[in-house]
A and B are shown apart, each in its own frame.
Chain A
């Protein structure tokens, strides 16, 4: 099946720093990528949807200036958590959809810990 690579898998940073998370589709062109946040033992919360070459669409309550999403190519989307604070600590997951397909392919997630 299609592979989505997400890096880093774990990151620890100091409060006030920015962290970039990469999501790559390795063997298909991802026309749409989604970024989710997952708290312990909870469901996936959609943060934003990004389409290649256009601005991301953020869900209500998600600060677009804090969570910068760039989908510059058909195989790469990045999420930058700017000026991270302890409350941003969470598990972040990206996923990608190919063309008009209905299947979602997930990255392996990034555990962000802000000290």
Chain B
């Protein structure tokens, strides 16, 4: 079974600084997706960034980038120029494509609570 581990329950960073959130996963699949979701105090889940396992190039979305190490099964999120609005719970997630039924299953890590300090 797939597992997703986030070893940092809480982190803090000064505004404008850079912070990296770690995520490791375990799977025997070769075709999958990895995601980082953000859950601010409003509790609305927001997609931050996604990575396709077959792509070697690390995904980037403005201030957010990932370091995807497929062999090490590591998928860390780097937030540059941290802003107060980045304060949220961050979840790493894994999705595999099941066949032949075509079922999809998303597995979430336990989350990292990030606080950006003014």
A binds B: yes
Contact in complex: A43, B106 (CB < 8 Å): no
Q: Is the interface of B mostly helix, strand, loop or mixed?
A: strand
Asked if A103 is at the interface (CB within 8 A of a chain B CB), the reply is yes
Contact in complex: B106, A108 (CB < 8 Å): no
Interface residues as binary, A22-53 with B (CB distance below 8 Å gives 1, 0 otherwise): 00000000001010000001111010010000
Question: Which chain B residue lies CB-closest to A108?
Answer: B44
Asked if A67 is at the interface (CB within 8 A of a chain B CB), the reply is no
Contact in complex: B45, A102 (CB < 8 Å): no
State the Cβ distance, B97 to closest chain A Cβ, in Å. 8
Contact in complex: B95, A95 (CB < 8 Å): no
Residue of A42, A43, A102 ringed by the most chain B CB atoms within 10 A: A43
Contact in complex: A95, B110 (CB < 8 Å): no
Interface residues on B, range: 20 to 34
| Cα A97 to Cα B102 with chains together (Å) | 12
**Can you list 19 contacts pairing A with B, beta carbon distance less than 8 Å?**
A34-B106, A41-B113, A43-B109, A43-B110, A43-B111, A44-B91, A46-B105, A57-B103, A91-B43, A93-B43, A95-B45, A97-B104, A102-B104, A103-B47, A103-B50, A104-B45, A104-B47, A108-B43, A109-B44
Q: Which residues of B contact A (CB under 8 A)?
A: 33, 35, 42-47, 50, 52, 91, 93, 95, 97, 102-111, 113
